């Protein structure tokens, strides 16, 4: 990767140090930027033509497989323009990348030309010799694209699982299967519909594409500053206001971008200095920003690419997934909000002066149309059920309105979002194309079902043990992969084991997505926290530890909704309301215990006695947040009684700590 050396002041010793930041993208010269813009435009035209059934090119709608070959070929070329193979080509596209792009163009044009033959003659099982050779070359290219876009962890995992069918017979019985010749594996991967062109790439090309364009357009038309200013106008004056602003703005931005790290680098430069100004420590400010930016991935209405892939796996609508994610995302951000409020109250951290904050009326006058476009998008998604075309209409509406505002785009400014779209499309296409090979490797051998049964056996048919195994596996995979990539792998391997144990399918899918997301705030590789640390100029590990402490309640939320899907709004209205109410109160109590301050009661004390009080209140909160019924079948009355006992003991202990001894009272 290319390197950029910048001078920064070291916060520990005040000395200047050179910090080497690894840049993932090439800094392209003008010629290649124009090439990227043309390729991005081609991708958009192909997608619009297919999704809207316009018949631009041939007078009729293209065969789906031909569309997939064309758009995948274009975006794979974009991968080799955007991502350098090594640190020696940071600002130019070397000859070997140009050669790879020529090969991609030839191979995928061949596939597109013979698309009908490939389907009718079932080339995925018996291709002509030229098809076999082209498939082998394509396999290697997709692996390299995955390495460049996703890094070495993605490459290593995809390589092993895509080659797995070739050596499956040599493995232990638990994971053994019939071995398949490599040429047969290659044509299955590249020319079939269950590997390279399986669920990940199909969902990307048919559903996610439009939402990525909408998210980028929203940012480049001023949506980012609008939501940040709106957050400052609403929350900046409250105690701990800038930290609460971070939650609000980062949550909205994360929902648009779907990337925790890009979210941190977008909102962090504004929110972290504001937090520092009113007294938050550097590591605490970095932790808040990391947690808030990570939670945006789980926040409706957009939720990045993962929600669409989940809907496809479950064969349900995207709206169903988004509705199910409402309560978990509310619990996530509510827990953060309550912790920040408790921390600010305990440390007497006030908000920013009102005169320094933007006027709410002015913010709305200048950016009302962003809210209007969001409402239109949600209306099309929920009421009209037009998931594929809704983001394109919303983007068109946004761009038209924007041209009559202060943020209108000139031709030069319009090229910036096009270039950014190209980078994002290339990154996701490279990763999802490679991840598709994992699905193919497991599908062609039929081993996925066997692995699920083996996991259930290893857990001793104990659902709690299986969930713990799933949480750990999700977390480990999340360290080296994107949220979407980790989720897809686990949806194939782990989720069937959870559903075979009697857990709700939607809750099981949400569980692995949630835990894959949490790796971004959990050391040793808390990437979102490390990105926030670079903005706050603090030790990455200290920022990671603070983010993990801030997000402590978040580690319990997935278990809550798996134990009882009422928290995913999957029960009756009364059960949903009861579960949400008790969960919110429970999260508030746990947040108070973590920060040592309970609203209405005040400081919970220091030292061993204070810790004991906080533990009692924390247990009360967890008991209250645990949904009644569901997996364990606890009655709500029992949970309330246990929670009240622990809460009462905690409150009593707090009064004992802060009451003065009798001798001290008489002397005073």
* Strand-pair category, 597-598 with 602-603: antiparallel
Per-residue pLDDT, 3: 33
Q: How confident is the model at residue 631 (pLDDT cuts 50, 70, 90)?
A: low
Q: How confident is the model at residue 423 (pLDDT cuts 50, 70, 90)?
A: confident
Per-residue pLDDT, 20: 30
Per-residue pLDDT, 257: 59
Q: What's the mean pLDDT in 437-452?
A: 82
Q: How do the domains of the chain map onto residue ranges?
A: 571-668
- In 151-208, which ranges are continuous DSSP H helix? 152-167, 182-191, 199-203
163, pLDDT greater than 90 = yes
Do 112 and 66 meet the contact criterion of CB atoms below 8 Å apart?
yes
CA distance linking residue 587 with residue 611, whole number of Å: 18
What share of the chain has pLDDT > 90, as a percent? 27
Do 244 and 235 meet the contact criterion of CB atoms below 8 Å apart?
yes
Q: Which of 320-329, 470-479, 517-526 has the lowest mean pLDDT?
A: 470-479
For the entire predicted model, the pTM comes to 0.81
CB atoms within 10 A of CB 125: 11
Q: Which of 5-19, 271-285, 610-624 has the lowest mean pLDDT?
A: 5-19
Do 84 and 26 meet the contact criterion of CB atoms below 8 Å apart?
yes
CA distance linking residue 308 with residue 305, whole number of Å: 6
Do 433 and 196 meet the contact criterion of CB atoms below 8 Å apart?
yes
Q: Cα dist. 219→416, 426, 628 in Å?
A: 11, 18, 42
Per-residue pLDDT, 70: 95
Tell whether the torsion through CA atoms of 522, 527, 528 and 530 is positive or negative. positive
Q: What's the mean pLDDT in 67-87?
A: 94
Per-residue pLDDT, 534: 86
Q: How confident is the model at residue 586 (pLDDT cuts 50, 70, 90)?
A: very high
143, pLDDT greater than 60 = yes
Q: Which of 281, 272, 264 is nearest to 243 (CA)?
A: 272
Task: List, for residues 368-417, the tens digit of each pLDDT value.
Answer: 999 899 889 889 887 887 888 888 999 999 999 988 887 777 767 777 77
Task: Give strand pairing partners of 629.
Answer: 634
Task: List, for residues 208-219, the tens digit of each pLDDT value.
Answer: 888 888 888 887
Span between the terminal Cα atoms of the chain, in Å: 69
Phi, psi of 359 (to 5 degrees): -75, 135
């Amino acid at each position: 990767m290319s390197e950029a050396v910048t001078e920064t002041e070291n916060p520990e010793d005040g000395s200047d140090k050179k910090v080497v930041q690894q840049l993932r993208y090439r800094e392209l010269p003008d010629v290649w930027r124009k090439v990227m813009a043309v390729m991005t435009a081609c991708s958009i035209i192909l997608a619009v033509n297919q999704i809207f059934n316009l018949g631009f090119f041939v007078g009729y709608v293209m065969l789906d497989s031909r569309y997939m070959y064309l758009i995948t070929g274009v975006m794979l070329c974009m991968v080799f323009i955007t991502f350098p193979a090594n640190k020696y080509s940071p600002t130019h596209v070397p000859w070997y990348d140009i050669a790879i792009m020529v090969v991609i163009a030839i191979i995928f044009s061949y596939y597109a030309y013979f698309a009908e033959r490939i389907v009718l003659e079932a080339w995925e099982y018996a291709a002509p010799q030229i098809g076999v050779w082209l498939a082998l070359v394509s396999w290697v290219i997709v692996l390299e694209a995955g390495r460049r876009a996703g890094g070495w962890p993605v490459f290593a995992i995809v390589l092993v699982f895509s080659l797995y069918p070739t050596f499956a017979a040599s493995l232990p019985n638990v994971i053994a299967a019939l071995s398949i010749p490599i040429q047969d594996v290659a044509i299955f991967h590249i020319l079939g519909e269950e590997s390279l062109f399986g669920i990940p790439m199909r969902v990307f090309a048919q559903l996610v594409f439009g939402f990525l364009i909408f998210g980028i357009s929203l940012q480049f038309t001023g949506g980012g500053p609008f939501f940040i200013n709106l957050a400052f106008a609403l929350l900046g004056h409250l105690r701990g206001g800038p930290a609460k602003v971070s939650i609000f703005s980062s949550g909205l931005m994360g929902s648009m971008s779907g990337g925790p790290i890009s979210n941190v680098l977008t909102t962090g430069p504004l929110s972290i200095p504001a937090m520092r100004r009113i007294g938050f420590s550097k590591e605490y400010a970095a932790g808040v920003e990391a947690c808030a930016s990570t939670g945006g991935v789980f926040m409706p209405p957009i939720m990045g690419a993962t929600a669409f892939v989940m809907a496809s796996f479950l064969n349900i609508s995207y709206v169903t997934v988004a509705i199910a994610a409402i309560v978990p995302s509310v619990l996530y951000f509510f827990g953060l909000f309550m912790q920040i409020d408790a921390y600010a109250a305990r440390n007497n951290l006030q908000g920013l002066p009102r005169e320094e904050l933007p006027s709410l009326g002015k913010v709305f006058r200048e950016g009302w149309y962003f809210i209007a476009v969001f409402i239109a998008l949600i209306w099309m998604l929920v009421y009209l059920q037009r998931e594929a075309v809704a983001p394109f209409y919303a983007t068109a509406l946004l761009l038209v309105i924007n041209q009559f505002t202060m943020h209108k785009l000139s031709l030069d400014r319009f090229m910036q979002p096009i270039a950014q779209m190209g980078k994002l499309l290339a990154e996701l296409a490279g990763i999802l194309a490679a991840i598709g090979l994992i699905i193919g490797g497991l599908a062609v051998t039929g081993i996925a079902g066997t692995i699920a049964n083996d996991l259930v056996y290893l857990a001793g048919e104990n659902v709690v043990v299986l969930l713990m195994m799933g949480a750990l596996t999700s977390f480990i995979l999340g360290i080296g992969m994107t949220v979407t990539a980790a989720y897809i792998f686990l949806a194939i391997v782990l989720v069937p084991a959870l559903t075979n144990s009697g857990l709700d399918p939607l809750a099981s899918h949400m569980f692995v997505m949630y835990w894959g997301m949490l790796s971004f705030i959990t050391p040793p590789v808390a990437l979102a926290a490390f990105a926030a640390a670079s903005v706050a100029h603090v030790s990455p590990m200290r920022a990671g530890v603070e983010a993990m402490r801030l997000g402590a309640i978040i580690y319990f939320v997935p278990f809550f909704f798996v134990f009882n899907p009422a928290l995913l709004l999957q029960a009756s209205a009364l059960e949903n309301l009861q579960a949400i109410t008790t969960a919110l109160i429970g999260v508030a109590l746990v947040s108070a215990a973590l920060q040592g301050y309970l609203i209405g009661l005040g400081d919970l004390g220091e030292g061993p006695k204070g810790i004991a009080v906080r533990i009692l209140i924390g247990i009360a909160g967890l008991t209250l947040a645990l949904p009644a019924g569901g997996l364990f079948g606890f009655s709500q009355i029992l949970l309330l009684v246990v929670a009240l006992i622990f809460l009462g003991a905690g409150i009593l202990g707090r009064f004992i700590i802060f009451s003065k001894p009798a001798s001290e009272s008489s002397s005073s």
